[in-house]
Amino acid sequence: MQIVWFRKDLRIHDNPALTLACQNGPVTAVYFVTPLQWQQHDVAPIQIDFIEKSINQLAYSLATLGIELIVETVDLFDDIPDALATLCKKLNASQVFANSEVEVDEINRDIKVQQQGIDLQIFQADCILNPGQVLTQQGTMFKVFTPFKINWLKQVQALDLSPYCKPAAQNAASEIIIPTAFTIDRPKKDSAYWLASEDAAQTHLVDFLDQFVEYYHLKRDFPAKQATSMLSPYLALGLISTKQCLHALLLRFPDALDNAKNGVSTWVNELVWREFYRHIMVLNPNLGKGDNYNKLGNQIQWQNDPKLFKAWCEGKTGYPLVDAAMQQLIQTGWMHNRLRMVCASFLTKHLLIDWRWGERFFKQHLIDGDLASNNGGWQWAASTGCDAQPYFRIFNPIIQSQKFDPNGQFISIYNQALAHLSDKQIHFPVNPIVEHKVARLTALQLFSVLKKG
DNA sequence: TCGAGCTTGAG
DNA sequence: TCAAGCTCG
């Protein structure tokens, strides 16, 4: 008997741990619910709801393969080695199969499991190219995205991207035992807008590839348009893999890896950014503990005014686009990528609040909360990250609004009181908590500690 | 060594 | 126009 331990890979397709375990004989699956750990990791209630629905769906999918999914609740990652050892004993299992994760606590958890004497086999399915596999000629991690991407594309072009097949059913012709629904006993926020299944993820992907990807580079920056893939919640929990995404993309657009300037390659870029941030995280584990990537960032004198932070959290900064974006996050658990940049820039550069505060707040509300991507994005905006925004580049929230929500269509969704304003008027702040020009100059001074040379 | 090339702009 | 540099080959 083998155990397949599911973590952030809640899928039966393109899942090497599952497929390879099944090749070795009978399999039982396990998922550990870790409420206290999730609390420490600021997992959003809406993501917990999405996890609950996803594991119930996974249990059903596994049942169709004749595999039982045991869902066990413990407090912390630290409790898993014992729990897993007990389970191995009970099932008389010789090996545990799992897919790798990139975060430091997760990696340490796996080490502790192995130290417990459990034969834990770890497979790589989180990235298309494994962390540490995309390096400069000096053997170091790239510090700039573009050369990383060039190297990544080169390697991927030589790769077979066929996803792993789902395993064959274990006991043919056996009846499907419909598993009892599992409930996670934690505060939850309804995630029903996002159907929690592999099928739903595939539908999002197909719709995106059929209808949107060709215009992605032209439309993706406009939050009022439906133009992005909407795959982030699925990628965050592994209901779909980036390999599946790229494979499907290449079937439709065989020259997708050619580094052109079109919608297809712009979207490939996004997948590569995801990998870039994951590689950085594995090679710099302390990023997961709040370290600035750029140590000069330690010298930034954050002002951290709680009143300003509260206003930002509640979408009451006075800047219509920022406030609408924060409402989108609070109400739906998701925020358009362009707006994440605008809000992150505003918090760090206009309000001079530590990016970690914003990172945490986002994590607490995002259905697609993912440490590497969230941290990478925040440190990009705060100019402390790897290949980050230069510190002197400060988004003007009014110009961003004029450019990317020209008719105020997005703003109007979340602030009907402004809907009657003209296209010209709607972008301007009403009782702003800080004035752009003043804030900009202060930020330039405070952030000048990042000046190089 | 040196030069090409820099995600998501702003005053 | 400017760009408060630097990475990578």
Among chain A residues 278-337, those with CB within 7 Å of any atom of strand B: 337
Q: Could you tell me if A308 and A392 lie in one domain?
A: yes
Q: Please tell me which residue lies nearest to nucleotide B6, judged from CA to C1'.
A: A146
Residue A140 Cβ under 7 A from any strand C atom:
yes
C-alpha of A15 from chain center: 18
Residue A338 Cβ under 7 A from any strand B atom:
yes
Residue among A233, A172, A223 at smallest CA distance from A198? A233
pTM for this entry: 0.97
Tokens representing residue A318 in the block: 């006075």
Q: Could you tell me if A95 and A153 lie in one domain?
A: no
Q: Is residue A221 part of a domain?
A: yes
Among chain A residues 141-170, those with CB within 7 Å of any atom of strand C: 142-144, 147-148, 151
Residue A79 Cβ under 7 A from any strand B atom:
no
Residue A295 Cβ under 7 A from any strand C atom:
no
User: Using the CA of A342, which nucleotide's C1' is the nearest one?
Assistant: B8
Tokens representing residue A401 in the block: 């609004």
Distance in angstroms, CA of A144 to C1' of B6?
9
**A314 catalytically annotated:** no
- Cα A169–A175–A178 angle (5° rounding)? 95
Using a CB cutoff of 8 Å and minimum separation of 24, what contacts does A358-366 make? A358/A312, A360/A42, A361/A313, A362/A329, A362/A335, A363/A41, A363/A42, A363/A43, A363/A44, A364/A42, A364/A44, A365/A44, A365/A46, A365/A329, A365/A330, A365/A333, A366/A44, A366/A46, A366/A47, A366/A329, A366/A333, A366/A334, A366/A335
Q: Could you tell me if A323 and A270 lie in one domain?
A: no
Q: Could you tell me if A257 and A327 lie in one domain?
A: no
Last residue of a domain, one of A283, A309, A327: A283
Q: Could you tell me if A131 and A226 lie in one domain?
A: yes
Distance in angstroms, CA of A316 to C1' of B4?
45
Last residue of a domain, one of A65, A93, A123: A123
Are A169 and A65 spatial neighbours (Cβ–Cβ below 8 Å)?
Answer: yes
Which CATH number fits the domain that encloses residue A403?
A: 1.10.579.10
Q: Could you tell me if A210 and A308 lie in one domain?
A: no
Residue among A371, A369, A375 at smallest CA distance from A45? A369
**Number of Cβ within a 10 Å radius of residue A48:** 21
Q: Could you tell me if A44 and A146 lie in one domain?
A: no
Q: Is residue A188 part of a domain?
A: no
Q: Could you tell me if A259 and A346 lie in one domain?
A: no
Among chain A residues 194-233, those with CB within 7 Å of any atom of strand B: 221
**A337 catalytically annotated:** yes
Distance in angstroms, CA of A389 to C1' of B8?
9
Q: What is the DSSP letter of A32?
A: E
> How does pLDDT run along chain A (453 residues), one tens digit per residue?
999 999 999 999 999 999 999 999 999 999 999 999 999 999 999 999 999 999 999 999 999 999 999 999 999 999 999 999 999 999 999 999 999 999 999 999 999 999 999 999 999 999 999 999 999 988 999 999 999 999 999 999 999 999 999 999 987 656 677 888 999 999 999 999 999 999 999 999 999 999 999 999 999 999 999 999 999 999 999 999 999 999 999 999 999 998 778 899 999 999 999 999 999 999 999 999 999 999 999 999 999 999 999 999 999 999 999 999 999 999 999 999 999 999 999 999 999 999 999 999 999 999 999 999 999 999 999 999 999 999 999 999 999 999 999 999 999 999 999 999 999 999 999 999 999 999 999 999 999 998 875
Amino acid type, A35? P
**A355 catalytically annotated:** yes
Last residue of a domain, one of A94, A123, A152: A123
Residue A146 Cβ under 7 A from any strand B atom:
yes
Q: Is residue A171 part of a domain?
A: no
Q: Could you tell me if A75 and A58 lie in one domain?
A: yes
Q: Is residue A145 part of a domain?
A: yes
User: Using the CA of A266, which nucleotide's C1' is the nearest one?
Assistant: B7
**A267 catalytically annotated:** no
Bases of chain C below 7 A from a protein C-beta are: 4-9
Which CATH number fits the domain that encloses residue A245?
A: 1.25.40.80
**pLDDT of amino acid A261:** 82
Domain that holds residue A418: 295-450
CA atoms within a 13 Å half-sphere pointing along the CA-CB vector of A308: 21
Q: Could you tell me if A307 and A341 lie in one domain?
A: yes
**pLDDT of amino acid A260:** 79
User: Using the CA of A437, which nucleotide's C1' is the nearest one?
Assistant: B11
**pLDDT of amino acid A173:** 54
**pLDDT of amino acid A438:** 92
The active-site residue, picked from A103, A378, A380, A415, is: A378
Q: Is residue A176 part of a domain?
A: no
Q: Is residue A67 part of a domain?
A: yes
Q: Is residue A346 part of a domain?
A: yes
The active-site residue, picked from A273, A312, A357, A380, is: A273
**Number of Cβ within a 10 Å radius of residue A87:** 20
The CA-to-CA distance between both ends of chain A, in Å, stands at: 59
Amino acid type, A66? G
Distance in angstroms, CA of A126 to C1' of B2?
38
Q: Is residue A103 part of a domain?
A: yes
C-alpha of A286 from chain center: 18
Q: Taken in order A187, A192, A193, A195, is the CA torsion positive or negative? A: positive
Bases of chain B below 7 A from a protein C-beta are: 5-11
Q: Could you tell me if A154 and A116 lie in one domain?
A: no
Amino acid type, A411? I
User: Using the CA of A450, which nucleotide's C1' is the nearest one?
Assistant: C4
**A380 catalytically annotated:** no
Q: Taken in order A329, A335, A341, A342, is the CA torsion positive or negative? A: negative
Q: Could you tell me if A137 and A268 lie in one domain?
A: yes
Domain count, chain A: 3
